[in-house]
Structure 1
Amino acid sequence: MGILVGLPSSGGSGTDLQLNFGLNISEQIEMRESYFPAEWHPQSGIQLAWPHAETDWAHMLNEVQRCFINIAIEIAKREKLLIIAPEPEEVEKQISSVVNMDNVSFFQCETNDTWARDHGAITLIDGNSPALLDFKFNGWGLKFASDQDNLITRRAVRAGLLKGRYENRLNFVLEGGSIESDGMGTLLTTSECLLSPNRNGQFNRVEVEEYLKSVLHLQQVLWLDYGYLAGDDTDSHIDTLARFCSPRTIAYVKCTDTNDIHYEALKKMEDQLKTFRTLSKEPYQLLALPMADKIEIDGERLPASYANFLIMNGAVLYPTYGQQDNDLKAKDVLQQAFPKHEIVGINCCALIKQYGSLHCVAMQYPMGVL
């Protein structure tokens, strides 16, 4: 089967892509102006799932809620904020005195945890309207309970809080933190995550790539085969390692300490990034983010990453870890990557205690969704 896909070009017009699935079927489907937008695409708002006493945050609930409040403050200054919570009235009490409540809406819904990036809808732009793709979330390869989180997207759509054409993709496991789009038809991901046997183990690499190309309307998939962070339980989500900052720019984590356990793997990742090419066959501008100094709890290293930043309308929120030199270096790199954006640091030491960071807890939605 062949699929002819319409994608945005740099000049704004649609281009066509025929995908060949190697079957003895000759079929073309024309889909104009449908694409997977980059994170910097104009947004209607951000979704958070609030930490509560029935989550793994119970032992440090006040600490992590303070972090979420700081994130909510910065989001609601600039765009709409949708908060998912079993008891939204309790969240409102926490934030009403410091957050711009004119930009906040709530959805009462049971949740397992707080990682909106991975259970949130993945949005396509189809013509001028959004399509909300609801992929299966299975707790990062059946590591954690996810039965409630996996229901959030369809419940929010039914409640009218997420607007757009709902697409049931629950036959395929895919987390938002595992994929990066340049908005022009290129996807960046990691083989360790997307080829995990506990996600879509029935498919090989070629089949996964063909599926992603057809569903997300892509022209190429760039697979990172190296790079990891100790303590990361997502199987190397791309948003902890390397991120698109523009169609021609990738920011990535660079380790310069040859004695660090990450040095060899991240060096191989850097070398592979240098081989990647844009659709116009140009090398990417690579911007090196610093590696956070080692942070441990009970002898276990935590996956602190400056790549886990959130792009918003007019601002980039990035995680800080109480490391003044590294925090400032990361800010400088991100300011270079986003010269027209305000770069805002938020202390995320609380978040990494559950092995995630700022980008992991938020899911952005393009215009028309919230």
Structure 2
Amino acid sequence: MPLQWDHTPLTSEYLLPAEWANQSAIMLTWPHRQTDWADHLAEVDQVYLAISRQVTRFQRLLIVCQNERHHKLISGKLAAAGIAPERLHFAIAPSNDSWARDHAPLTCIGEKGALLLDFQFNGWGGKYPAELDTRINQQLFRAGVFAATEQRSVPLVLEGGAVETDGLGTLLATRSSVLTRSRNPDLTADQVESILSQQLGFDRFLWLEHGHLSGDDTDGHIDTLARFADPATILYATATAEDPDYPELEAMAAELRAFRQRDGQPYRLIALPPIPPILSKQGDRLPAGYANFLIINGAVLLPVYNIPQDAAAIRALQACFPQREIIPIDCLPLIRQNGSLHCITMQFPAQVTLSPAEASLPA
């Protein structure tokens, strides 16, 4: 059955901000033993603790826990790590997995404040179970996690990792991860663009036909490939000529060179260092990437992989974000499940108000 749409125009009222806009909080959906992380949960917990430690230096952190027992376990680990409890907010919502970037709400802002948009999540086109993940936002809304912030449900399948913006109404994305029959089979590309304009305020679409990292199972999320550092600057993934990923990434780079800003000027393009193949124990290529960084208030958290190229990536990010601290986070444990730092986080703009730290937990 075709989706039914509320076509209330939002373009003139709300706009998806750039990630560098001032934020109130970051969301993490913490891994648990019912997720694919079970076999190396202790290592992954250390990555989540490292991210929590750094985020709470600058802003608040919303942690979604599987149940009350999980909440108590994670609270104890955060306390043992010396993380300030006044920066922490907890909520309970069962989850299939922990990729918050793709199941958390996207937030637009406008003159009336913030609008939390709950898009649908179907496990990257039906690849993985997602029946719990796609319900998380509604559970957070009902629990009052976001206080009085306005909320809206959108019956479009869309992952946050597939969306990159300059905060001025431009969408940078791959066609392969947004305009796919496995996500919204009843909609044409023009209809999807119309919906994205109405819901997120986009009036320019920069669609990439190319771009892929071996091991990626998202159909080419933009946050693994190319990211805005400011409205005129794009950082992008590269590969050496002998790498199997080279043809796709080089074709993507050519597309980026052809894109133009609103004033007709080319973008300033910053090539991120190529990463040599990092393999799983089974010999499969893992999708390590430096484009999967997270911008927060006063800092950028950069995924690193304990390889020599990490130093060059830090320098590249520092040149693009001279007013922010560049904080490397060891993300080798994360890429075992085919994602990295940006994939497990979601930011909320400053206009989003979180409820008091424990108010959303069951009594």
Normalising by the residue count of structure 2, what TM-score does the alignment of the two structures yield? Answer: 0.91
Matched, 1:174 2:158: yes
Tell me which stretches of 4 or more aligned residues in structure 1 moved more than 6 Å.
none
Question: 1:174 deviation in Å?
Answer: 0.3
Q: Is residue 109–residue 351 contact of structure 2 (8 Å, CA) maintained in 1?
A: no
Matched, 1:44 2:24: yes
Aligned to 1:281: 264
Any idea what SS the aligned residue of 1:113 has? coil
Aligned to 1:34: 14
Question: 1:33 deviation in Å?
Answer: 4.7
State the alpha-carbon separation in 1 of the partners of residues 12 and 288 from structure 2. Answer: 40
Aligned to 2:45: 65
Bigger mean CA deviation after superposition, 205-214 or 218-227: 205-214
State the alpha-carbon separation in 2 of the partners of residues 273 and 31 from structure 1. Answer: 26
Q: Is residue 11–residue 202 contact of structure 2 (8 Å, CA) maintained in 1?
A: no
Deviations 1:314-358, CA, capped at 9 Å, x for gaps: 0000100010x2101111111111110000000000000000000
Matched, 1:352 2:335: yes
Q: Match for 1:161 among 145, 152, 168? A: 145
Aligned residues: 341
Any idea what SS the aligned residue of 2:266 has? coil
Q: 1:117 to 1:29 in 2, by over 3 A?
A: closer
Question: 1:151 deviation in Å?
Answer: 1.0
Q: Is residue 63–residue 350 contact of structure 1 (8 Å, CA) maintained in 2?
A: yes
Question: 1:30 deviation in Å?
Answer: 8.0
Q: Which has the higher contact order (CA 8 A, sep 6+)?
A: 2
Bigger mean CA deviation after superposition, 177-186 or 148-157: 148-157
Any idea what SS the aligned residue of 2:138 has? helix
Q: Is residue 293–residue 303 contact of structure 2 (8 Å, CA) maintained in 1?
A: yes
Question: 1:29 deviation in Å?
Answer: 5.7
Q: 1:195 to 1:77 in 2, by over 3 A?
A: same
Bigger mean CA deviation after superposition, 192-201 or 336-345: 192-201
State the alpha-carbon separation in 1 of the partners of residues 198 and 136 from structure 2. Answer: 25
State the alpha-carbon separation in 1 of the partners of residues 85 and 17 from structure 2. Answer: 28
Q: 1:93 to 1:245 in 2, by over 3 A?
A: same
Any idea what SS the aligned residue of 1:229 has? coil
Q: Match for 2:247 among 264, 271, 274? A: 264
Q: 1:30 to 1:199 in 2, by over 3 A?
A: closer
Q: 1:186 to 1:207 in 2, by over 3 A?
A: same
Aligned to 2:127: 143
Bigger mean CA deviation after superposition, 342-351 or 120-129: 120-129
Aligned to 1:210: 194
State the alpha-carbon separation in 1 of the partners of residues 38 and 8 from structure 2. Answer: 52
State the alpha-carbon separation in 2 of the partners of residues 308 and 54 from structure 1. Answer: 25
Question: 1:285 deviation in Å?
Answer: 0.5
Aligned to 1:252: 236
Q: Is residue 11–residue 200 contact of structure 2 (8 Å, CA) maintained in 1?
A: no
Q: 1:161 to 1:28 in 2, by over 3 A?
A: closer
Deviations 1:203-240, CA, capped at 9 Å, x for gaps: 22222222212221111010011010111110000000
Q: Match for 1:240 among 213, 224, 234? A: 224
Q: Match for 1:188 among 151, 172, 179? A: 172
- Write the mapping of 1:99-114 to structure 2, written as runs, cut at 5 A: 99-114=83-98
Any idea what SS the aligned residue of 1:244 has? strand
Deviations 1:300-327, CA, capped at 9 Å, x for gaps: 000000000000000000100010x210
Letter in 1 for 2:250: K
Aligned to 1:127: 111
State the alpha-carbon separation in 1 of the partners of residues 108 and 8 from structure 2. Answer: 20
State the alpha-carbon separation in 2 of the partners of residues 260 and 315 from structure 1. Answer: 32
Q: Is residue 11–residue 198 contact of structure 2 (8 Å, CA) maintained in 1?
A: no
Any idea what SS the aligned residue of 2:253 has? helix
Question: 1:154 deviation in Å?
Answer: 1.3
State the alpha-carbon separation in 1 of the partners of residues 135 and 191 from structure 2. Answer: 26
Any idea what SS the aligned residue of 1:344 has? strand
Deviations 1:128-181, CA, capped at 9 Å, x for gaps: 410000000111111111111111111111211124111110x21000000001
Q: Match for 2:74 among 91, 94, 110? A: 91
Q: 1:90 to 1:190 in 2, by over 3 A?
A: same
Letter in 1 for 2:349: P
Aligned to 1:321: 305
State the alpha-carbon separation in 1 of the partners of residues 204 and 15 from structure 2. Answer: 13
Normalising by the residue count of structure 1, what TM-score does the alignment of the two structures yield? Answer: 0.90
Letter in 1 for 2:179: L
Bigger mean CA deviation after superposition, 205-214 or 134-143: 205-214
Q: Which has the higher strand share?
A: 1
Letter in 2 for 1:60: H
Q: Is residue 11–residue 199 contact of structure 2 (8 Å, CA) maintained in 1?
A: no
Letter in 2 for 1:76: T
Aligned to 2:99: 115
